[in-house]
Structure 1
Amino acid sequence: YFQAYKQSPEAFLNIHILYVKITINGVSTIALVDTGATSSLLSLSFSKTAHLERSVDTRQPVRVRGIGGTEPTTGTIWICFFVINDTDFDTKLWVWERKTYDVLIGLDFLRRHKCTIDLIRNRLIFNDQMHVSFLSEAEIDDWEAGRE
């Protein structure tokens, strides 16, 4: 234990997940930034909250695969517009029924917008120009408390 702590003290820290504030169709929420996800996702419940049900194309549902297995999507929003740090973005979003996250930003979005994850400064950088800070644990806790 002592040797492990001495060599890798960061292994003993609680590492929190990377979230950013996002606004979709005028509704604010937080989005998980997930470099392990190839595609960006939107929860079905949030699509209803943000009044996007009519934008969901249900003709081609697919199955998404993650650590917990595979799950079906409800459909696709081919172009979804949203705001991060007063900057407009667009992306395709698969819509799924899982309620764990309102929005999951995957590699498709990160690559399209030339994002860099700067863990030293705790921020997400877009196209080497604009950046947004990742939320602190306290901000995430406050947001989750407000949802209950």
Structure 2
Amino acid sequence: MNITVATVTDQVFPLNVSEDLELENLKAFCEVESGVPANQIQLTFNGQPLNDDKKTLKEYGIKDGDMLFMQQGPVQQGFLPSQAPPMAGGAVGAGLPSFDFSNIQVPHGAAASSSNSSRLSAASSDNPAVIREMLLADPSALSLLKQNNPRLSDALTSGSLERFAQVLKEQQEAKAEQERLRLRMLNADPFDSEAQRLIAEEIRKKNIEANMEAAMEYNPETFGTVVMLYINCRVNGHPVKAFIDSGAQTTIMSSECAERCNIMRLVDQRWSGYAKGVGIQRIIGRVHMVQIQIEKDFLTSSFSILEQQKMDMLLGLDMLKRHQVRHLFSRLLVC
């Protein structure tokens, strides 16, 4: 379930946790997010302090979408969040690494939660070697890091502690600068043009994050890698791997492939020109008719011969429509 934790310094962070999570383990998550030691964290729900660390969130009546209030130091019974004293200066965000652990899914069960909490508590260390070892030992965290922070992931997998420490330090400094700008925004005159610009930028970032979270939840396949579609065929009796591209207007072939297939002698240079798309390439000419064999089927096609083309052959929309080759897609081969 998703809950939200707010602090007296207007810091708000969401947590995805299990209803069976014990309060002491929830405090460990709050320690990672806020930098306040877990033994100094006091959580309040509906104006009532939560004092029993062994009780689960379900036992406290906390449900999906609820908000908890967090402060540093003990809270007396009936003490309202609006009366809470401010946290010690510099507690928020102090010494935290730039990697965000709030998206790590908490497994169900107290034993698994305790194990994850221990690893998350270790992340609060300033030692890059400790953070690096923790990430390398946790495949799920490594996968999240690769998706959300590719630059730090590349530094981690490079095997160089110096490079990892440098990238981590740069990102920590960038995060600290963002926090300073946020505090400046909160304390500035709301009618100041610079403050309004920072507020608009903060709203934009939150909208982007919300849009990405919704996409990851409802359309996770959009974050996967799309494989290019190729088929094996023969042109003039020579084996060629052809790329299927229904977005290409014409079927094309590289001059090197045309040489291998022994059809350069058929190029009509009256059809020379330039192909424009992502870039511009010179068209040497056109071969008006060549036989293509796809498994047991024999088809004919024309080719525009390009002077510099990395792909050997590209089957365009003209070829696909002419022969209505829907059956080709049942024979696609992934390279």
Equivalent in the alignment of 1:103: 313
> Would the aligned equivalents of 2:291 and 2:298 in 1 still touch at CA under 8 Å?
yes
> Matches of residues 1-148 of structure 1 in structure 2 within 5 Å?
1-68=212-279, 70-116=280-326, 125=327, 132-136=330-334, 140=335
Measured in 1, the distance between the counterparts of 2:283 and 2:276 equals 10
1:99 partner letter: Q
Alpha-carbon distance in 2 for matches of 1:67, 1:8: 28
User: Corresponding residue for 1:120?
Assistant: none
Deviation, structure 1 residue 132: 4.3
SS at match of 1:78: strand
Between the two proteins, what is the percent identity of the paired residues? 25
Q: How much has 1:98 moved relative to structure 2?
A: 2.4
With normalisation by structure 2, the TM-score equals 0.35
Q: Which has the larger radius of gyration?
A: 2
Give the aligned residue type for 2:242.
Answer: A
Query: Is the Cα contact below 8 Å between 1:34 and 1:105 reproduced in 2?
Result: yes
Classify the secondary structure of the residue corresponding to 2:269: coil
Stretches of structure 1 that go unaligned for 5 or more consecutive residues are 117-124, 141-148
| CA deviation profile, 1:14-38 (whole Å, cap 9, x unmatched) | 1111111110122112111111101
Structure 1 consecutive aligned stretches of length 4 or more whose deviation exceeds 4 Å: none
Once the two structures are superposed, residues 17-69 of structure 1 have per-residue CA deviations (whole angstroms, 9 ceiling, x without a partner) of: 1111110122112111111101000110001011111111112202212122x
Structure 1 CA distance, aligned partners of 2:297 and 2:251? 18
* 1:122 paired residue number: none
Q: Is the 8 Å Cα contact of residues 253 and 309 (structure 2) preserved in structure 1?
A: no
State the aligned residue count: 124
Paired residue secondary structure (2:319): helix
Using the TM superposition, give the Cα deviation of residue 72 of structure 1 relative to its aligned residue in structure 2, in angstroms. 1.7
Quote the RMSD (CA, aligned, Å).
1.5
SS of residue paired to 1:14: coil
- Write the distance in 2 (CA, Å) between the matches of 1:133 and 1:115: 11
Deviation at 1:3, TM superposition (A): 2.7
| Contact in 2 for aligned 1:85/1:132 (Cα 8 Å) | no
Q: Which has the higher contact order (CA 8 A, sep 6+)?
A: 1
TM-score, L = length of structure 1: 0.77
Aligned 8 A contact 1:84 1:132 in 2? no
What residue ranges of structure 2 are gaps of 5+ in the alignment?
1-211
| Aligned 8 A contact 2:282 2:308 in 1 | no
3-state secondary structure, aligned to 1:59: helix
What is the CA–CA distance in structure 1 between the aligned matches of 2:299 and 2:267, rounded to whole Å?
18
Distance 2:221 2:295 in 1: 30
Letter in 1 for 2:306: W
